[in-house]
Amino acid sequence: MTWKISDGRLDYLVVFVDVDGVPVPVGALTFQGKRSRQSFFTYARSWLSRPNRFALAPTGLPPRTRSIPSAPHETLLPFEDAAPDGWGRGVLQKAFPNQNFGIAEYLAASGDNRTGWFRFGRSPEDGPEQWIPDSAKIELSGTIDLDALTVAIEAADQGEPTKSDIMMLYRSSSDIGGARPKARIHHEGREWIAKFSTWGDRFDEPRVEALCLSLAKAAGIEVPAHKVISLGRKSVLLVERFDRGLAQQRKGYISAGTLLNSPASAYRTNFSYFDIAQGARTAGIEPCEDTLFQRLLFNAMIHNTDDHLRNHAFIGDRTSWRLSPVFDIVPQRHEHMVLSPLPGGGTTPDPIAILPTWRNFGINQERAEQIISDMADAFANIEEHLDRHEVSTRDREVLAPIMPHAFNFPAEMASIRRQALRP
């Protein structure tokens, strides 16, 4: 069976998920329109009749026999979370410059090791597979050498990739979310996302992100395994994939944007951390008010103002969904956070102003004291974390004014303790 295509655009994709390690067709996406496209998802009857079927997402994909329209979005948001983002889309556009890409083409042309458990193909019988635009002859297999990959990413970042650079990136980076350079790699028997620096960075971002992940872990926040490796004079951050389980079983994945029906294009938003917590509870996700308040406070401490809805996510298995480990936590120069603590609240990353909201998140005083104490201990040892990740003296000087709350101890934490528990 061939791919269903009209005017160079894909009209039809079969959606699969793995059950006991075997890909099973769960339904199909049908795309309509030319300039402004929309899609319909229809569950396979075989999936709806399975006694061991499970929810494909906690919201947005209710099990029913009627087709589910995507309007006003191009596709249903749980599937959008499975598509590549800025960096991956750029790789695909370089690999296939003559292709007109929309969400259908991004889903089909990107690799089969994407985030989450959705897989795509042209027919139920053929199983998941990758669509190659333009009938191009491309070798999809091959070992990814990390040194060569670093060279390819640097060339692409500077706008001068060779054909071999593009093909290497196509095999390793075309199915990854996020705007910055990154790639999937297999390292020491485990699956990682490798994150690289880019030309506009004001500091060694891989090392600083590792610093922030380590501080978060010390503060009691769940983080993925991570480490920094050096390739020549370049630093690369390796973050273990949390959307894979033992034996690399795929886990479900949705962003907080999908939970709140906000598309990826809506970066700025009126939503809050409290809205995410309430949305999770409504969707039957494991309650996470406590954890979201903790992350809110931590983001304010490190001045992470890139806390948009796609930088918060939920992972699931057959029986339940929960908040994912924290990711993409890096100090930013923007003056305001994307999400407010509470609906209608301010977005200044000021931990002193944020602390009194712990009551709104339903946290008792004992737990509030513990969160503050853990955070105080973590940031009191920031120099040890800086040394462990070999953050340079120059970068420390750059970071200090960007994230002043993190560097001003113990006076800052003493103030936080007093303010937090004031009646």
Structure tokens, 288? 């996470």
Beta carbons of 184 and 171 less than 8 angstroms apart: no
283: three-class secondary structure by DSSP: coil
Number of H helices, E strands in the chain: 16, 14
Which residues are within 8 A (CB) of 305 and not within 5 positions of it... i.e. 6 or more apart? Answer: 299, 332, 333, 334, 335, 336, 337, 338, 349
User: How far apart (Å, rounded) are the C-alpha atoms in residues 395 and 407?
Assistant: 13
Backbone CA torsion sign across 396, 385, 419, 323: positive
Provide the pLDDT for residue 236.
Answer: 94
Q: Residue 410: what pLDDT?
A: 46
Q: What is the pTM of this model?
A: 0.93
Instruction: Parse the chain into domains and list their residue ranges.
Output: 5-135, 146-240, 251-420
Length, in residues, of the chain: 423
Helix (H) or strand (E) holding 148: helix 146-157
Match 């909201």 to its residue by tokens. 357
* pLDDT at residue number 175: 87
**Percent of residues in the chain assigned helix, strand, coil, to nearest 5:** 35, 20, 45
Between 3.40.50.300, 3.40.50.2300, 3.30.200.120, 3.40.50.1980, what CATH number should domain 146-240 receive? 3.30.200.120
Q: Are domains 146-240 and 251-420 of this chain identical in fold?
A: no
Domain 251-420 in CATH 2.60.220.30 = no
Q: If the chain, 423 residues long, is cut into consecutive pieces of 10 residues, what is the mean pLDDT of each piece?
A: 89 96 97 90 97 95 96 95 92 91 95 94 95 71 76 86 88 85 86 90 96 98 95 90 90 97 86 97 96 97 96 96 98 96 94 90 90 91 96 97 84 56 55
56 vs 17, 20, 74, 217, 236, CA distance in Å? Answer: 8, 15, 19, 30, 33
